[in-house]
C-alpha cells in the first residue's frame, strides 16, 4: 500500500514532499490535517507526531517520520529508482545538499514560520524586526546562489534541496518580496519552468490568499 502523508497543501514543507514524490514517481495517500481546526494538536495526532507538524509520513508497518527534509531523504533512499535527488556516493554534492536543507530548516523556513504562525493562530501582525530577519535570510540565499553560479540550488542537477527552498521562498514572499534579490528571482523563475513546479501552485495560492486577507483585516482594525 502507498505510504500515507498527513498533510495540507497550503503548507510549504508538505508541497516540498509532494514535489519529491512526483519526481520519484512514488504514490502517496494524502491524509488531510486541518491546521486551522487544530487537528494537529489532537491526542491521536500527537501520539504519532509529538512535534505536531505536517508533513508526517506513515508506512503500513507503523513507521512514522516527521520533517519534510528527513521525509524527502527517506523517499529517495527507500523508493527512488536512482538517488540523483540525494546522492549517496557523491559525498561533496550530498554535503552541499545537506547544507541547503539545514539552511532551510534553521534560517529560511523558521524565520518565515516565526511570522506566519503567530499571524495565523493568534492574529498577531509581524513586527518590523521579524520582517527584517526574513529579508536577511533571503539575502543570504541570494548570496549563496551568486557564489555558486549553478542552475539548481546545490549544483547543476535537481536535488531535494530545490523542493525545500522553492516552497519556502515563494510562500514567505507574502511578507517580503524575493524579487528584490536578483539571483533569487532568476533562480525561482528557472524553477517555475520545471514540470514539478506545477505542484506548488494551488497550495501557494491558498496560502497567499489566506495570509493577504488576514494581514489586511488586522491592518484595518
Whether 153 contacts 100, CB under 8 Å: yes
Selected from 40, 111, 130, 135, the binder of ligand GSH by CB under 6 A is 40
**Residue 105 binds ligand GSH, judged by CB under 6 A:** yes
**68 or 176: whose CB is closer to ligand GSH?**
68
98: closest CA among 135, 72, 126?
72
Query: Does 69 contact ligand GSH by CB under 6 A?
Result: yes
Q: Is 49 in the site for ligand GSH (CB under 6 A)?
A: no
Told to check if 85 binds ligand GSH by CB under 6 A, we report: no
Q: 110 to 169, contacts with ligand GSH by CB under 6 A? A: 113
Q: Where does 104-197 have alpha helices with state H?
A: 109-122, 128-148, 160-172, 182-191
Q: Which of 11, 68, 116, 164 is catalytic?
A: 11
Query: Rounded to an integer, what distance in angstroms lies between the CA atom of residue 16 and that of residue 68?
Result: 7
Contact residues for 34 (Cβ-Cβ < 8 A; gap 6+): 8
Nearer to ligand GSH, 55 or 73 (CB): 55
11 is catalytic: yes
CA distance between the termini of the chain: 50
Which residues lie near ligand GSH (CB under 6 A)?
11-13, 35, 40, 52-55, 67-69, 105, 113
Which residues are tagged catalytic? 11
Amino acid at each position: 500500500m502507498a505510504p500515507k502523508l498527513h498533510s495540507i497543501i497550503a503548507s510549504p514543507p508538505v508541497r516540498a514532499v509532494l514535489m519529491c514524490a512526483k519526481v520519484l514517481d512514488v504514490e502517496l495517500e494524502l491524509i488531510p490535517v486541518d491546521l486551522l481546526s487544530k487537528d494537529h494538536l489532537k491526542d491521536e495526532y500527537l501520539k504519532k507526531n509529538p512535534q505536531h507538524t505536517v508533513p508526517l509520513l506513515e508506512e503500513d508497518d507503523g513507521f512514522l517520520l516527521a520533517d519534510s527534509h528527513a521525509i524527502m531523504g527517506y523517499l529517495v533512499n527507500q523508493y527512488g529508482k536512482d538517488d540523483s535527488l540525494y546522492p549517496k556516493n557523491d559525498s561533496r554534492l550530498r554535503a552541499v545538499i545537506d547544507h541547503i536543507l539545514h539552511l532551510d530548516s534553521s534560517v529560511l523556513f523558521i524565520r518565515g514560520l516565526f511570522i506566519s504562525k503567530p499571524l495565523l493562530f493568534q492574529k498577531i501582525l509581524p513586527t518590523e524586526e521579524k520582517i527584517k530577519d526574513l529579508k536577511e535570510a533571503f539575502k543570504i540565499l541570494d548570496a549563496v546562489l551568486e557564489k555558486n553560479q549553478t542552475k539548481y540550488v546545490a549544483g547543476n542537477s535537481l536535488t531535494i534541496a530545490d523542493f525545500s527552498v522553492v516552497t519556502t521562498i515563494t510562500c514567505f514572499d507574502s511578507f517580503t518580496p524575493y524579487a528584490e534579490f536578483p539571483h533569487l528571482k532568476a533562480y525561482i523563475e528557472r524553477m517555475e519552468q520545471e514540470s514539478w513546479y506545477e505542484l506548488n501552485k494551488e497550495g501557494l495560492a491558498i496560502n497567499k490568499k489566506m495570509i493577504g486577507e488576514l494581514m489586511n483585516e488586522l491592518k484595518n482594525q
